[in-house]
Amino acid sequence: MGVYLDYNASAPIDMRVVDSMIDAYEFFFGNADSRTHDFGDNARKAVDDARASVANLIGVNKDEVFFTSGATESDNLAIIGMKEYGFRNKRKHIIVSGIEHKAVLESAKSLENFGFEVEMINPDDSGRINENKLLEMIREDTLLVSVMHVNNETGIIQPVDKIGDALSSTNTFFHIDATQSCGKLVEEIRGLKYDMMSISAHKMSGPQGIGALILKRKSYKLPPISAIMYGGHQERGLRPGTTPVALTAGFGKACDIALEEYAQNMIHCQKAKKIVLELLEESELRYKINGSQEYCMPSTINISLERVSSEALMLSSKQYCGISNGSACTSKEYVLSYVLTAMGLSEERMECALRISWGAKTDLDVLRVEFKKLLEVARGLLFTWN
C-alpha cells in the first residue's frame, strides 16, 4: 500500500479520537440545544467539554471558540461576516496574501461585488511574505488583513507574529488561518496577537467535518462578525445547524492529545524530514527545494525534481507514496500551483513540483523504503519528459 505522505491534505485520524466519538454516538445522542431533558443536557456538556479542550490548546477562553464545519467555513465567516461592519464604518479595504487558501482568496474576492477593494501581497521566492511591505499597505479604511500561519503547499511559516504585534494597536482586524499549524506550533499560536483564527480538526488527526473560528475579545468585545447563514441560533447565533456532538467530542480529544504530544511529534517529523533529504541526496537526482527551509515546518517539504513531471511521477509511483502537488481543494483538475506562481517560480520548475508532508504516525522505516522507490521511478521518467 505504500506510505501516506499527504498529511497537509488530511491527517489519519487517531484511534483514541475514534473511541471518543463512538462513546459520544452511543451515550450523547441527544440534541445539544434541547433544554427539556437529561439527554440534551448530557450532549451539551460533551460539547462544552470539547470547547474547553480546544480553548485550552489554543490558549483562549472557551467562550471565544465557535464550532464550524471546518476551516473553510471559518474563513468564509471571518471575512464575509465583516461585510456589514465594513459598510457601517466605511472601511472597505482588505489585504490578503496571494498564497492564502482558496477559502480566503475567494471569500475576499466575493466582497468586491459589494464595492470592497481587495489588495494582495505576494511572497518572494522564499515563500514568505514581507511583513514590512504588508504594513505599508495599511490605510485608514483598512478593515481586515488575512494571512495564514503556515502555507499548506510549501510549509513556510509566515510572519504573523510580527504582523499581529503591529496591528494590535490599530483598528484593523487581523485574521489568521492556522489550519496547518494548530496542534503543532502550540506555543507559537498561544503567543500570537489576532482577532480571528480559523482551525480544522482533520489536519491534526481529528475527524473531518468539524473546525472552529476563534474570536478573541478586545476591550471585552468580540470581533463584529455577522452570520452568513440562517436557520438557527446555534453557536450564539453565528452559524445555524444541529451541533454534531460526536464530531466536537472527537475534535476536543484531538486537541487534548496534541497538547500532550506536540513536542515529541515535532521531533518525529524532524527525523522524517532528515530521511527525505538524505534520500534525495543519495538519489543523485537534481532537485530544488521550493521555499526557504529557515522558515519551514519539519512536517513538510516542497521540491522540484528537475526534468521529471510531477504529474507523471505521482501517477507512476502511487503504489509507493501518497503525495500531491498542491492543495486537495484545487487538485481535481491539474493546473500550475498559484502558490508557487505567486513566489515567482518558473513554469518548468512548477511542472516538476511535489508537496510531501508527514506526521507523527509516519513509520520512518516504511518511509525510507517507499520514498526510495519513488525516487527510482523518478529516475526512470527523467528522459521521457520534454
80: cell is 464575509
Closest CA to 176 of 237, 162, 187: 162
Edge-to-edge strands, sheet with 65-68: 65-68, 211-215, 196-200, 173-177, 142-146, 93-97, 117-121
Closest CA to 258 of 209, 175, 190, 192: 190
Give every CB contact of residue 65 below 8 A, 6+ residues apart in sequence. 51, 54, 55, 58, 212, 214
Please give the full DSSP string across 53-105, using - where no structure is assigned.
HHHHHHTS-GGGEEEESSHHHHHHHHHHTTHHHHHHHT--EEEEETTS-HHHH
**Residue type present at position 16:** R
Helices 364-381/245-283 angle, 10° precision: 60
Name the one residue in this structure whose C-alpha cell is 511542472.
351
State the Cα–Cα distance between residues 302 and 277, nearest whole angstrom. Answer: 11
CA distance readout (Å), 203 to 70, 86, 206, 309: 10, 32, 7, 27
- Catalytic residue numbers read 329
**Which residues are registered as beta bridge partners of 96?**
120, 146
